[in-house]
Amino acid sequence: MAKRQLNRRQNWRIEKIQTERAARAAKRESQALDALEGGDLGPEQTGLVIAHFGVTVEVEAEEDGQTYRCHLRANLPPLVTGDRVAWRAGNQGNGVIVAQLPRRSELCRPDSRGQLKPVAANVDLIVIVFAPLPEPHANLIDRYLVAAEHAGIRPLLLLNKADLIDEHNAAALDSLLAVYRQLGYPLLEVSAHGGGGMQELQRLLDGHVSVFVGQSGVGKSSLVNSLLPEVDTRVGALSELTGKGTHTTTTARLFHFPGGGDLIDSPGIREFGLVHVSRADIEDGFIEFRDLLGRCRFRDCQHDREPGCALLKALEDGRVQPQRLASYRHILASLPQDEY
Ligand SMILES: Nc1nc2c(ncn2[C@@H]2O[C@H](COP(=O)(O)OP(=O)(O)OP(=O)(O)O)[C@@H](O)[C@H]2O)c(=O)[nH]1
Ligand SMILES: [Zn+2]
């Protein structure tokens, strides 16, 4: 009891300190903004948000490719990495964001209160990475596909560690890949180590804004390091960690590939698609089910053994793959009960 009270008091103190700290930061921020606005600002131009640091964002000028630390005017919607903005330069490598330009797409994740918040904008390719090892799970790949379909962003299935394909795993991998090939999803095999397929991958990434997602250990870092030999993609994440101590969310950063094309990366983005999907998202995300759902005899059909089930009929006719139906059921069953 006493301990709980103590905890509550501690929490209250921590909250008070955090509020005061935030208020001081906001005040400093508005003073900085006033000083900027009071000075000579350059003409309005367009730029790209390449990183986000709470009260300021790093903007790359479209014109000269230089980066500027920019302050935000109060009436702006929240900006994220990948946003295109209208901004005006100040005099010391800083500037002011004037407006957010329309987004073509958004990646969203729930925040600490469970509310969906955008974490990256204008991504147009989600690279779903898997490998012979750790052994790939169809339902995990399908979860990422559901998330990509839901975000309206094109997926690319990337089998990394192709050098590890041998007589023990080749058949299983082939049948896994055949399902996605039949659905029309683009597929590529590479080896971040051996270098096989990497040029082809680079070609597919050129001209796009991509994110890499996939299970731990499939080789996302290795792929990114091989594509971006010049930069340490962990830098942004680390400096945020030491800056804030307890905060585990780390900023997303946009990197340019040498051959053109961009990558947006952060630990949070790598896990995109593993949290929060609704039943409707799942039904929509299995593209071959779209024409079938709603055609079952029973409205609350669980597509399990019900007579007149359109999905089971399609399974029988070979229009739906057993692996996909199993995966669909598995993902649905993982939803909280009230959404099922
Ligand atoms: N044989 C082989 N091993 C690879 C290849 N790419 C990566 N690996 C190895 O796989 C392991 C995991 O690679 P990472 O790049 O750390 O994987 P990750 O997906 O970034 O993992 P997380 O950071 O946990 O998300 C490392 O030991 C790599 O050396 C490859 O093409 N072939
Ligand atoms: Zn059914």
CA triple 308-311-312, angle to 5 deg: 65
Are 74 and 223 contained in the same domain?
no
Round to whole Å and give the CA distance between 112 and 88: 33
Residue 278 phi/psi, 5° resolution? Answer: -95, 170
Round to whole Å and give the CA distance between 15 and 11: 6
Round to whole Å and give the CA distance between 42 and 102: 22
Round to whole Å and give the CA distance between 254 and 259: 15
| 130-169 per-position pLDDT tens digit | 999 999 999 999 999 999 999 999 999 999 999 999 999 9
Give the pTM. 0.85
Structural domain ending residue among the three candidates 270, 297, 327: 270
Question: Residue 331 is part of which domain span?
Answer: 279-339
Are 293 and 266 contained in the same domain?
no
Are 95 and 187 contained in the same domain?
no
Contact 72, 116 (CB under 8 A): no
DSSP assignment of 19-52 = HHHHHHHHHHHHHHHHHHHHS-----EEEEEEEE
Are 96 and 140 contained in the same domain?
no
Q: What ipTM, to 2 d.p.?
A: 0.97
Looking at every residue in the chain, the average pLDDT score rounds to 87
List the structure tokens of 177: 């890949």
- Distance from Cα 288 to the centre of ligand 2, integer Å: 14
Contact 110, 117 (CB under 8 A): yes
- Nearest ligand, measured from the Cα of 300: 2
- Using CB distances shorter than 6 Å, the residues near ligand 1 are 160-161, 163-164, 191-193, 216-222, 270
Locate the ligand 1 atom nearest the alpha carbon of residue 192 and give its number: 31
Indicate which CATH number applies to the domain containing 323: 1.10.40.50
Count: domains in the chain: 3
| Residue to mutate, 135, 215, 221, ligand 1, most ligand atoms under 8 Å from C-beta | 221
Question: Is residue 242 over pLDDT 60?
Answer: no
Containing H/E element for 86?
Answer: strand 84-89
Q: Taking the chain, what is the end-to-end CA distance rounded to the nearest angstrom?
A: 39
Are 143 and 197 contained in the same domain?
yes
Residue type (1 letter), 134: P
Locate the ligand 1 atom nearest the alpha carbon of residue 190 and give its number: 31
Are 251 and 111 contained in the same domain?
yes
Coil vs helix vs strand at 47: strand
| Annotated binding-site residue? 70 | no
Closest residue (by CA) to atom 32 of ligand 1?
161
| 69-111 per-position pLDDT tens digit | 999 887 889 999 999 999 999 888 899 999 999 999 999 888 8
- Distance from Cα 241 to the centre of ligand 2, integer Å: 48
Are 51 and 123 contained in the same domain?
no
Indicate which CATH number applies to the domain containing 82: 2.40.50.140
Measured CA distances, 303 to 14, 283, 315 (Å): 51, 12, 10
- Distance from Cα 309 to the centre of ligand 2, integer Å: 4
Structural domain ending residue among the three candidates 270, 287, 320: 270
- Nearest ligand, measured from the Cα of 162: 1
- Highest mean pLDDT out of 3-12, 36-45, 130-139: 130-139
